[in-house]
Structure 1
């Protein structure tokens, strides 16, 4: 047995794998424990053998970014080891997520609670962006919540480094309901503003307790967005009609859509309007959003430990890339399925090395 295999075996022996808590075509997640301490962990088993061309880019990116990013509001990677054809990521165990919070109608939460979840999300996102990374799949069930109430950003399979203004990227990222109009119109050159739109829609969803813009197709997503907010003008969003996949989806009148979230107060309405501006160049950065008067005004954000949490354990949830295929989830009302669809990026360079060198 060579040294690398022996080391992998020793790492695997450190952990006990328990019940499955998440599933997907290329990965399963199990609740586990550290043998020596009894600490709960999540073990994400990436099934390399199921992938047509070996370990795909999403798996590589997730390992890379989780190894590099360390912040209280980002899920922690504790270990990585391989067994046969599977790569295993050992992550801190987080027992629920923001989607479960939103959908649990037994929970009553206040503006101070919403403010706290938003502040933690933006702090994690500000750190990610400051380190030159786009998340590109922010949505409520990728915002996990620990036993002590801390919110942590997870699932970096669609994340991407940025920095070079000329870098061309795929527009087929971000679950559709949280995908900004520039990506729906085919923009291949974008930046942190795409994540800010996603956070803006999550903010509104926290207030309404239902998804804000829930389109069935890309065209329907644009129609629902423009129906809610009005069709953008050239003055409001210069040059958008020149985007690669632009098409006229109809003229909709301007609506004061922020009136539907008046319960959050004027400062909250203003922040939501800023994050959901059509022109990505005018959306605030995560740092600017954190400095918004919404966070310094009364009421103060709830301490994480005092935030409401579902009593039931997190049910098994689907993981990318099943999410990329739009498998139905139960709608909040219970009336039929809903879809949180996101397309994975084209896997250019799928023939990547099967062997990873872990720090």
Structure 2
């Protein structure tokens, strides 16, 4: 046994797998612990043997970027070891995710709670972008929640660096409901603005308690976006008709956000609108968002330790960070067991939105 094999064997002995909590096409996730301290961890076992070239590219990306990113609002990679034909990622253990919290109807969100989750999301994302890393798959179940309430960006399987602005990138990233229109139109050169669009969709979902723009196909996704925000013109978004996959999908008038988010504060609507600007170069950046008046106005963000928690604290890794699934060409929502998000029918969607309109997001709530 050489030095590398000995070091790997020693790392493997540090961790014990206790229980399988999730499985996808390319990975199995276990709840585990560190033998010396008893600390709970999540162990993500990548099924290396399934790939012709030996290792899934998403696993390489995840290891590479999580080794580089150390921030309170980014999931921590604790260790990596191999066993037989598998690669194992040891990640910090997190109690739930934002999707589970949004769906838990026993929980009531205050405006200060939504502001706190948004602040932590933008902090984590600003750090990624400052480190020249695009996430490219932000959605509620990739925002994990720790026991102390801290929100952490997770699942970096589709992440990539973007230091070279002239380098072509794939447009087949980001789960469809959170994918910006430039990617649906086939843009191969893009920026950190794609992640900001996703955060805007998450912001809207936190206020509505249902997905904001849930399309059933790429064409339907565009129609859903244009129905919500109006069909863009060349003045709104210069050059979009020249994108590789551009095709007209009908003319829809611009509907004021206030018509749907009737109880949101003016600052909240202003920030949301800046996240969902069609022209990527005009979209607000994560850094600019952190200095937006929304975050300094009352109510102040709830302290993370006092944020609502799931009544049934399943682990975030039960849903997993898609357990190794990537969105792929169809922009799907995950294909592993228990990993699909339930699509809402138009009738259910309308009913839920009518309920959402009655929620009051404007009351000044004392800071907790």
Q: Normalising to structure 2: TM-score of the pair?
A: 0.88
Q: What is residue 86 of structure 1 aligned with on the other side?
A: 86
**1:349 match:** none
- 2:15 maps to 1:23: no
Q: Does 1:301 align with 2:305?
A: no
Contact 1:136 1:158 in 2 (8 A): yes
State the partner residue of 1:344.
none
- Separation in 2, partners of 1:53, 1:259: 52
**Alpha-carbon distance in 2 for matches of 1:81, 1:56:** 15
8 Å Cα contact 1:329-1:337 kept in structure 2: no
Q: Secondary structure at the match of 1:44?
A: strand
Q: Does 1:320 find its partner at 2:324?
A: yes
Structure 2 Cα separation of the partners of residues 304 and 329 of structure 1: 28
Query: Match for residue 194 of structure 1?
Result: 194
Deviation at 1:24, TM superposition (A): 1.1
The whole-number CA distance in structure 1 between the counterparts of 2:235 and 2:7 is 60
Tell me how far apart the structure 2 counterparts of residues 259 and 334 of structure 1 sit (CA, whole Å): 21
Partner of 2:340: 329
| TM-fit CA distance, 1:311 | 2.1
For 1:97-116, list aligned pairs within 5 A.
Answer: 97-116=97-116
Secondary structure of 1:36's partner?
coil
Per the alignment, in what secondary structure is the counterpart of residue 81 of structure 2?
strand
Q: In structure 1, how many angstroms separate the alpha carbons of the residues matched to 2:346 and 2:85? A: 40
Distance 1:212-1:66 versus aligned 2 partners, 3 A rule: same
Alignment of 1:235-246 (within 5 A): 235-246=235-246
SS in 2 for 1:262: coil
Alignment match, 1:210: 210
Name the SS of the counterpart of 2:49 in structure 1: helix
After superposition, the CA RMSD in angstroms is 1.9
Q: Mean alpha-carbon deviation: is it higher for 232-241 or for 17-26?
A: 17-26
* Structure 1: segments with no counterpart, 5+ residues: 339-359
Distance 1:109 1:335, change over 3 A: same
Deviation digits for residues 4-54 of structure 1 (CA, Å, limit 9, x no counterpart): 111111111111101122211111111101111111100011110122321
CA contact (8 A) 1:61 1:156 kept: yes
> How far did residue 193 of structure 1 move?
0.2
| Unaligned ranges ≥5, structure 2 | 350-368
Between the two proteins, the alignment pairs up a number of residues equal to 338
Q: Write the deviation string for residues 192-236 of structure 1: whole angstroms up to 9, x where unpaired.
A: 000000000000000000000101110000000001111011111
Question: What is the match of residue 345 of structure 1?
Answer: none
- Determine the C-alpha separation between the residues in 1 that align with 2:226 and 2:73: 33
CA contact (8 A) 1:136 1:173 kept: yes
Distance 1:51 1:336, change over 3 A: farther
Structure 1 CA distance for aligned equivalents of residues 258 and 164 of structure 2:
35
- C-alpha contact 2:106 2:311 (8 A) present in aligned 1: no
Q: Secondary structure of the residue that 2:168 maps to in structure 1?
A: coil
- Summarize the Cα distance change of 1:336–1:58 in structure 2 as closer, same or farther, 3 Å threshold: farther
2:357 is aligned to none
Tell me how far apart the structure 2 counterparts of residues 118 and 73 of structure 1 sit (CA, whole Å): 11
Inter-partner Cα distance in structure 1 for 2:9 and 2:263:
54
Measured in 1, the distance between the counterparts of 2:255 and 2:348 equals: 28
How far, CA to CA, are the matches of 1:6 and 1:336 in structure 2? Answer: 60
Distance, in Å, in 2 between the alignment partners of 1:320 and 1:56 is 9
Deviations 1:100-133 (A, max 9, x none): 0000001001010000000000000000000000
C-alpha separation between the residues in 2 aligned to 1:221 and 1:252? 14
Deviation at 1:259, TM superposition (A): 3.0
Instruction: Name the SS for the 1:329 alignment partner.
Output: coil
Structure 1 192/309 Cα, relative in aligned 2: closer, same or farther at 3 Å? same
Matched with 2:285 is 285
